[in-house]
Amino acid sequence: MDKDTLVEVQDLKTYFFTDEGVVKAVDGVDFSIKKGKTLCVVGESGCGKSITARSIMRLIDPPGRIVEGSIKYVNGEGVEIDLTALSPKGQEIRKIRGMEISMIFQEPMSSLSPVHTIGEQIRESIRLHLGLSKEAAKERTIEVLKEVGIPKAEERYDNYPFQLSGGMRQRVMIAMALACKSRLLIADEPTTALDVTTQANILDLIQGLQKEYEMSVMFITHDLGVVAEIADDAVVMYLGKVVERGPVDAIFHDPKHPYLISLLRSIPQLTAGKMERLDSIRGMVPHPFNRPSGCPFHPRCDRAIKGRCDAAAPPRVILGPGREVSCFLYEEGRS
Ligand code: SF4
């Protein structure tokens, strides 16, 4: 791993073994998260984004499990650890989870206890991870509540989650990550349930704090507008696979994979004519038990090559540093 990399995911496979069959939710995924940078993972619902994030946190519940691959992480002491080798319930991952790597979800209520005040929850998290006294932890809690823009932080300390708006609850979750000085924040669609103004505020907050604390961010979204705003690098996923990845400028200005090109064409353009129709991607994401043969995108792809795209998995083609695409159109001699 190079010195700028915080997390390197290699050939990660996370499968779910159900009575109906095996769901290959994540099927051979590779990417890296750089120190102090934002990586956006983008794709439609069901493409494996959240399971990839939960695999990093080792939060996969049975019947799911990581069956192959590695997730290398450089901890606060500079030691490289393969997170897949740790017991999901062991001491070592518990120390990393919540302290070094934090995760926020679309609905913060799912991570906050409804029967404890927000102050108590952040304070206890600080005490557990940083070993501070009760008084010092309370002081630090109020400090971080202020840092994430919660007004009257001293009073809010005694509020229960249900007394706060969705945007405020999301700020509380970010405060929790900050309080423990997390090195990586994994945000799983954290702004999807919020109105646009609150969404913009939360994105600004994450970006501002990231710069200040040099935190790395893995941001999961289906919204390419969010990617354009905050990403340094982007990974595009489809049916458990990375179909394209690279620096965000290249992703937007020189997209290669037909799926990414279709996604970009389906964004409304301010410059479009009044009556211009918005492109949509033909068909639906297939059911996980009916995974297409060959390239998983071939039933929806306008450029699919008969007898090739439906018969074999497309090659991974390296286009430049940190930039690659999985598609037959770019194999040697064709592009
Ligand atoms: Fe389309 Fe074939 Fe490329 Fe898949 S490999 S995206 S089906 S052209």
Rg of the chain's alpha carbons, rounded to an integer? 21
- The answer to whether the CB of 325 is under 6 A from ligand 1 is no
From the list 219, 101, 216, 210, the residue with the least C-alpha distance to 148 is 210
- Which ligand 1 atom sits closest to the C-alpha of 258? 6
- The answer to whether the CB of 157 is under 6 A from ligand 1 is no
Span 61-65, average pLDDT: 94
User: What is the three-state SS of the chain?
Assistant: CCCCEEEEEEEEEEEEEECCEEEEEEEEEEEEEECCCEEEEECCCCCCHHHHHHHHHCCCCCCEEEEEEEEEEECCCCCEEEHHHCCCCCHHHHHHECCCEEEECCCHHHCCCCCCCHHHHHHHHHHHHHCCCHHHHHHHHHHHHHHCCCCCHHHHCCCCHHHCCHHHHHHHHHHHHHHCCCCEEEEECCCCCCCHHHHHHHHHHHHHHHHHHCCEEEEEECCHHHHHHHCCEEEEEECCEEEEEEEHHHHHHCCCCHHHHHHHHCCCCCCCCCCCCCCCCCCCCCCHHHCCCCCCCHHHCCCCCCCCCCCCCCCEEEEECCEEEECHHHCCCCC
With a cut of 60, say whether residue 60 has pLDDT above it: yes
- Which ligand 1 atom sits closest to the C-alpha of 328? 5
Q: Which of 47, 327, 334 maximizes ligand 1 atoms within 8 Å of its Cβ, making it the mutation to test the pocket? A: 327
With a cut of 90, say whether residue 319 has pLDDT above it: yes
With a cut of 60, say whether residue 205 has pLDDT above it: yes
- The answer to whether the CB of 295 is under 6 A from ligand 1 is yes
* Higher local confidence (pLDDT), 111 or 328: 328
- The answer to whether the CB of 305 is under 6 A from ligand 1 is yes
- Which ligand 1 atom sits closest to the C-alpha of 296? 4
pLDDT band per the 50, 70, 90 thresholds, residue 97: confident
Cα(287) to centroid(ligand 1), Å: 19
What pLDDT score was predicted for residue 334?
64
What pLDDT score was predicted for residue 271?
62
What pLDDT score was predicted for residue 63?
95
Q: Give tens-digit pLDDT for 234-289.
A: 999 999 999 999 999 999 999 999 999 999 987 766 665 666 666 677 777 888 77
Cα(281) to centroid(ligand 1), Å: 14
* Higher local confidence (pLDDT), 143 or 99: 143
- Which ligand 1 atom sits closest to the C-alpha of 308? 2
Cα(306) to centroid(ligand 1), Å: 10
- The answer to whether the CB of 9 is under 6 A from ligand 1 is no
- The answer to whether the CB of 296 is under 6 A from ligand 1 is no
Q: Whose CA is nearest to atom 5 of ligand 1?
A: 327
What pLDDT score was predicted for residue 274?
62
With a cut of 60, say whether residue 294 has pLDDT above it: yes
Q: Which of 237, 301, 330 maximizes ligand 1 atoms within 8 Å of its Cβ, making it the mutation to test the pocket? A: 301
Q: Give tens-digit pLDDT for 207-219.
A: 888 888 889 999 9
What pLDDT score was predicted for residue 333?
62
With a cut of 60, say whether residue 158 has pLDDT above it: yes
With a cut of 90, say whether residue 111 has pLDDT above it: no
d(CA 3, CA 309) in angstroms, rounded, equals 38
- Which ligand 1 atom sits closest to the C-alpha of 314? 5
Percent of the chain with pLDDT over 70: 96
What pLDDT score was predicted for residue 1?
83
- The answer to whether the CB of 236 is under 6 A from ligand 1 is no
pTM for the whole thing?
Answer: 0.90
Q: Whose CA is nearest to atom 3 of ligand 1?
A: 327
Q: Which of 244, 297, 319 maximizes ligand 1 atoms within 8 Å of its Cβ, making it the mutation to test the pocket? A: 297
Span 187-195, average pLDDT: 84
With a cut of 80, say whether residue 123 has pLDDT above it: yes
Most confident region among 1-5, 25-29, 221-225 by mean pLDDT: 25-29
- The answer to whether the CB of 309 is under 6 A from ligand 1 is yes
- Which ligand 1 atom sits closest to the C-alpha of 305? 2
What pLDDT score was predicted for residue 270?
60
- Candidate from 103-112, 199-208, 322-331 with smallest mean pLDDT: 103-112
With a cut of 70, say whether residue 118 has pLDDT above it: yes
d(CA 130, CA 186) in angstroms, rounded, equals 20
d(CA 90, CA 146) in angstroms, rounded, equals 33
What pLDDT score was predicted for residue 177?
82
With a cut of 60, say whether residue 68 has pLDDT above it: yes
- Candidate from 71-80, 85-94, 306-315, 325-334 with smallest mean pLDDT: 325-334
What pLDDT score was predicted for residue 278?
62
What pLDDT score was predicted for residue 273?
62
- Candidate from 75-84, 210-219, 306-315 with smallest mean pLDDT: 210-219
Span 171-200, average pLDDT: 85
With a cut of 60, say whether residue 335 has pLDDT above it: no
With a cut of 70, say whether residue 126 has pLDDT above it: yes
